[in-house]
Amino acid sequence: MSTIDKGNRVLTLINVFTVEPEKQQALVALLIEATEQVMKHMPGFVSANIHRSLDGKKVVNYAQWENMAAFEAMRKNSKARPHMQAAAELAQFEPILCEVSDAISIG
Amino acid sequence: MSTIDKGNRVLTLINVFTVEPEKQQALVALLIEATEQVMKHMPGFVSANIHRSLDGKKVVNYAQWENMAAFEAMRKNSKARPHMQAAAELAQFEPILCEVSDAISIG
């Protein structure tokens, strides 16, 4: 389980992948594998939350890192790069680096 | 605080707004106001999590609804419409309806 909170001082990376529907499941599997095998063992990893769009055309990774330095170190890591290249071969992607302005929920 | 979980049977709406940086803060304020005044009082609302991109060019609303019927009812609600129109005047947006494939976190 992951949490979103205004008080969380994490760096949030929302990565929106545009994919052909017949490749959506392969991209989901690749992102889960990359997270389990590599990302989650890196310093500063907090969470990765892989979403599939209902229309089949998008995959969204809502990821959290402790801070920008941890995120940058991951991007330069030689173990992470083959997974990122494999994702780039399956889909176009648009990473959005952001922070939480507000988290409003019931209860 | 909001949670992301594979077992959550919620509908997730990831709405990516593209905005001029000088209008980013106004859009964030508008989305928070719309959530507090209207959305969170509607049946089936679970959470809305407003993010601002560090480069100023995007705002992302990561929202959760109990199910598609609740989301569709909100879209047709006359109280919600003026807020959605105001957002559309400030920014272009691309809503992505999705479900959680996996949520992987530390600890």
**A to B CB pairs, distance under 8 Å:** 143
| B32-48 residue pLDDT tens | 999 999 999 999 999 99
Interface test with A, best of B55, B92, B106 (most A CBs within 10 A): B106
Residue B8: pLDDT band (50, 70, 90) is confident
Question: How many whole angstroms separate alpha carbon A86 and alpha carbon B3?
Answer: 29
Q: What is the pLDDT of residue B14?
A: 98
Q: How far apart are CA B65 and CA B27, in angstroms?
A: 21
Closest CA to A16 of B3, B39, B95, B48: B95
Residue of A1, A47, A98 lying closest to B52 (CB–CB): A98
Alpha carbons B19 and B31: distance in angstroms, whole number: 13
Over the stretch A36-64, which tens digit does the pLDDT of each residue have? 999 999 999 999 999 999 999 999 999 99
The string of pLDDT tens digits covering residues B64-83 is 999 999 999 998 989 888 98
- Residue linked to tokens 């949030």: A12
Q: What are the tokens at A1?
A: 């389980």
Amino acid at B43: P
Who contacts A86 (Cβ-Cβ below 8 Å, separation ≥6)? A30, A34
pTM: 0.96
A58-71 residue pLDDT tens: 999 999 999 999 99
- Residues of B with Cβ-Cβ distance to A104 under 8 angstroms: 32, 35-36, 40, 47-50
Per DSSP, the residues of A9-40 read -PEEEEEEEEE-GGGHHHHHHHHHHHHHHTGG
Q: For A4-30, what is the mean pLDDT? A: 95
Of the candidates B42, B90, B92, the residue with the CA atom closest to the CA atom of residue B63: B42
How does DSSP assign B6-67, residue by residue? TT--PEEEEEEEEE-GGGHHHHHHHHHHHHHHTGGGSTTEEEEEEEEETTSSEEEEEEEESS
pLDDT for position A107: 64
Cα–Cα dist B106/A102, whole Å: 23
Residue of A nearest to B43 (CA): A106
Identify residues of B whose CB sits under 8 angstroms from chain A CBs: 1-5, 12, 14, 16, 28, 32, 35-36, 40, 45-55, 58, 60, 62, 64, 96-106
SS3 A52: strand
Min distance B2 CA to chain A CA atoms (Å): 5
B56 forms beta bridges with none
